[in-house]
Structure 1
Amino acid sequence: MKSQSATIRIVNIPDFETRAEKILEHLKAHLIALRRKNLAKLASKVPATALIGDEVEDENFLHDDDDALGLPGEIEFDPFDDAANLSHLDRVTLRERAEKLAKARIAASGIAHLRKDELERLRPALSPMKLIMCRDEAHADEIAAGLHAEAPWLAAATEYAWHALRQSARCGEPVRFRPVILNGPPGVGKSLWARNLAKALELPLADVDASKGGAGFGLVGLERGWGSAQPGRPLDLLLAQRVANPLIVVDEICKAKSATSEGGSHHAFADALLSLLEPATAKSWECPFFRITFDMSHLSWILTSNTARTIPDPIRSRCQLLEIADPTPQHLHDVANRQARRLGLTQAARDAALAALEQAPVLTRRRISLRDVSRILDRAVALEGRPILQ
């Protein structure tokens, strides 16, 4: 069953048509309708024969020659069809007015600085966007149960999401999670858990890697004038999916980077993220690319890290920190067995994979993560599909 939804506008731009071709179509239709209306008024005062022509003496002239012409009977004559035949002067005048009106509307809307292709890219934001809702508290319980069954060692994260969903359902509000940091060893499934949460709620999701995000331009976008100018990932997701409360996952916030330009300007990933995390600034957030203010306050943020010590203090102070432990050997065994069945491995292949997983800590002399489980299963799939030499 699908999640419920509401709608909201994320940009405060007048919702009127700014494309000259569309305005021209409306003007043509209006002129034709107006002329037909005027002709109808005239027809009520003047005999129909006066509109059709002086040579008409018999009202049956429209049907007398039907058989001779090979036409079906009961053809109705519409003396107002000429109203739709616009003259060349009509068309030129209407096009000039449409282009003038389009320019005036663009100037009044505050988007005159945008190119035509940029305006088309922005167009989805001009209409109300969906807000995904949690149907009811039972739905929240089902989602939490499913997440816990897949990753019981992430119980702290699941409980956090569970309470947030129940509150949203109870209050009839859109789904939104307060910013949270999942801190724990690499390879324990923090990002996978977030993706499963988004999938269960049918929330659009975007991944941003803070360790590769440079100064945060991939997060908030880069202003026009640069060769790589574009909107940030979150806004791009909103425009593509037309959902105002997607889930944004920021991986490895503990490795967030910064950069200093040749002119001495300092740009940090943490600063870019803060502009979207802070409710006051997210509500009226200005996109560097479009140079228009958007309401980004409905986004949900899940950040992951491997060590809390290197998380920038301004980010940490605005997020709830949840400590995530390693999965136990039994957890890894259960995950491997479940995934092997989903992959359709034979019993022999499953047994071999589980045996390899059990021996892995001794052979590798290190901790085993979910990534190791995935590699073992990938190897089992490859070996099972290999032809046997006779």
Structure 2
Amino acid sequence: MYDHSITPRAEDPSLIEPRTFGWHSLIPARYPVLLPELNMASEEDYVARFQAFVLKLKRNLDPERVELQGLEHRRGMILGKTAYRRRAAELGLSRLEHEDLLQVKRLARDGAVLHGPRTEHHADELAAALHAESPWMSDIGTFLTRAMRSAANSGLSGLTLPPMILVGPPGCGKSHYARKLGELAGTPVRQIDVGSGTSAHRVAGTEKGWSSRQSGVPTETVLDRKVANPVMVVDEIDKAGTIYLAKGSPSSLITALLTFLEPSTAKVFECPSLRVTFDLSRVNWVLTANVLEDIPAVLRDRCRVFLMPEVTPGVAGMMVDAMARDFPQLDAETLSVVRREVTRTAARGKMSLRIIRRILEDVSRPPGLLLH
């Protein structure tokens, strides 16, 4: 049963109206996803330091010296460049392209931000808004509220959730719920298509040497958006398996995911493209599936599994009420007609969230101009 003392009922308009929160404007906390020493000085700085050192040595012999002469200047430059290359190699930065190096250094210097609730009150606000968006998902709403409260009590800033699998028939709102979770928390949401033959590489990335070398979606998002806790949505995980690529090598999405679902390995993930170690333990994972039995056991063991309700007439009615707020131009009479027809169709088992949105979009359009 749903505990309304944890997430208030959607019918209370004072609780469901706002979709932005005061804490969205707070300066976000930061999290070190890269080691600070990766923000090493530039080659020019190394050269300048060594030239200054050579000049200091010369002044010990000749206090009147004010600058280096030709060969002395060149010697300081060679020493500086050599020291720079050695240090870059030690840190694993010598193989990076210029733009990648700049991104890595900035992220190492500044850290990544953490978006989402910081306190129990923030968690309650987010849970209430999420429940208003998808009131038929009440069981998972209760779990999320408790998880966010627990994280806040532990001193963890930002959206912090264990990996989850949402299981239910197509059209019950699984992906919609996951996207709304990230949207309301103010953190980026990325969706990964399991049907793609390169889905494993989209998660983990590809090594340097491949023609399509690139970082995986989690690493790319953290690096580009400078956010430590984005939401990754992996749809239809029950259809995943080992897919053999054109070159004959296996590409297992499940194997790739296991690295990120275990905090201990996600914390020391080495991007195969950049060869730099990232702490991706704060990334949030939401997997969806249509059939529980088809989900690999290794994933069920590492995730919280939630069974979503079928789209019954009652659920369909809640979907209409929740989504109608995105169409304020519709009057009460029109919404009543839509709700009646949707629930009638749902009784025959032919309704989904996508169909409901399409219906609302159609009836909200102004009638076309008549041509005479």
Both structures adopt the same fold (TM-score exceeding 0.5):
yes
Deviations, residues 225-274 of structure 1 (Å, cap 9, x unaligned) = 12211000000011012222222111111111322357764321111101
| Change in 2 beyond 3 A, CA 1:25/1:198 | farther
Deviations, residues 110-153 of structure 1 (Å, cap 9, x unaligned) = 22232333323433442332334632211111111111122111
Please tell me whether residue 203 in structure 1 is matched to residue 187 in structure 2.
yes
Aligned to 2:32: 9
Supply the distance in 2 between the matched residues of 1:356 and 1:164 (Cα, whole angstroms).
Answer: 36
Supply the distance in 2 between the matched residues of 1:171 and 1:147 (Cα, whole angstroms).
Answer: 22
**Contact 1:336-1:354 at 8 Å conserved across structures:** no
Supply the distance in 2 between the matched residues of 1:381 and 1:185 (Cα, whole angstroms).
Answer: 27
Normalising by structure 1, report the TM-score.
0.75
Aligned to 1:288: 272
Aligned to 1:143: 126
Aligned to 1:46: none
Please tell me whether residue 193 in structure 1 is matched to residue 177 in structure 2.
yes
Deviations, residues 86-132 of structure 1 (Å, cap 9, x unaligned) = 99889766654543343232122222232333323433442332334
Letter in 1 for 2:190: A
**Contact 2:23-2:122 at 8 Å conserved across structures:** no
Counterparts of residues 87-106 of structure 1 (less than 5 Å): 96-106=78-88
Supply the distance in 1 between the matched residues of 2:40 and 2:345 (Cα, whole angstroms).
Answer: 67
Unaligned runs of 5+ in 1: 35-40, 43-82
| Change in 2 beyond 3 A, CA 1:27/1:375 | farther
SS of 1:2's equivalent?
helix
Amino-acid identity (%) = 31
User: Shift in Å at residue 299 of structure 1?
Assistant: 1.7
Deviations, residues 158-216 of structure 1 (Å, cap 9, x unaligned) = 11110111101112123421111111111122222222222222222221122335451
Aligned to 1:168: 151
Please tell me whether residue 107 in structure 1 is matched to residue 89 in structure 2.
yes
**Contact 1:286-1:294 at 8 Å conserved across structures:** yes
SS of 2:160's equivalent?
coil
Counterparts of residues 65-104 of structure 1 (less than 5 Å): 96-104=78-86
Supply the distance in 2 between the matched residues of 1:109 and 1:209 (Cα, whole angstroms).
Answer: 34
Please tell me whether residue 355 in structure 1 is matched to residue 337 in structure 2.
yes
Q: 167-176 or 2-11: which moved more?
A: 2-11
Q: How many corresponding residue pairs?
A: 342
Supply the distance in 2 between the matched residues of 1:340 and 1:325 (Cα, whole angstroms).
Answer: 20
User: Shift in Å at residue 297 of structure 1?
Assistant: 1.6
**Contact 1:180-1:320 at 8 Å conserved across structures:** yes
Please tell me whether residue 301 in structure 1 is matched to residue 280 in structure 2.
no
**1:221 alignment partner, one of 192, 202, 205:** 205
Letter in 2 for 1:190: K
| Change in 2 beyond 3 A, CA 1:25/1:378 | farther
Rg comparison, structure with higher value? 1
Aligned to 1:313: 297
Q: 1-10 or 180-189: which moved more?
A: 1-10
Aligned to 1:371: 354
Counterparts of residues 40-51 of structure 1 (less than 5 Å): none
User: Shift in Å at residue 388 of structure 1?
Assistant: 4.2
Deviations, residues 295-318 of structure 1 (Å, cap 9, x unaligned) = 222222111111111111111111
| Change in 2 beyond 3 A, CA 1:318/1:16 | closer
Please tell me whether residue 120 in structure 1 is matched to residue 102 in structure 2.
yes
Supply the distance in 1 between the matched residues of 2:75 and 2:336 (Cα, whole angstroms).
Answer: 78
| Change in 2 beyond 3 A, CA 1:87/1:186 | farther
Normalising by structure 2, report the TM-score.
0.78
User: Shift in Å at residue 362 of structure 1?
Assistant: 5.7
Supply the distance in 2 between the matched residues of 1:231 and 1:141 (Cα, whole angstroms).
Answer: 35
Aligned to 1:76: none
Aligned to 1:236: 220
Supply the distance in 2 between the matched residues of 1:381 and 1:90 (Cα, whole angstroms).
Answer: 77
SS of 2:37's equivalent?
coil
Aligned to 1:62: none
Aligned to 1:329: 313
Letter in 1 for 2:23: K
Letter in 2 for 1:204: P
Unaligned runs of 5+ in 2: 1-21, 57-62
**Contact 2:235-2:289 at 8 Å conserved across structures:** yes
Letter in 2 for 1:105: R
**Contact 1:154-1:324 at 8 Å conserved across structures:** yes
User: Shift in Å at residue 16 of structure 1?
Assistant: 4.4
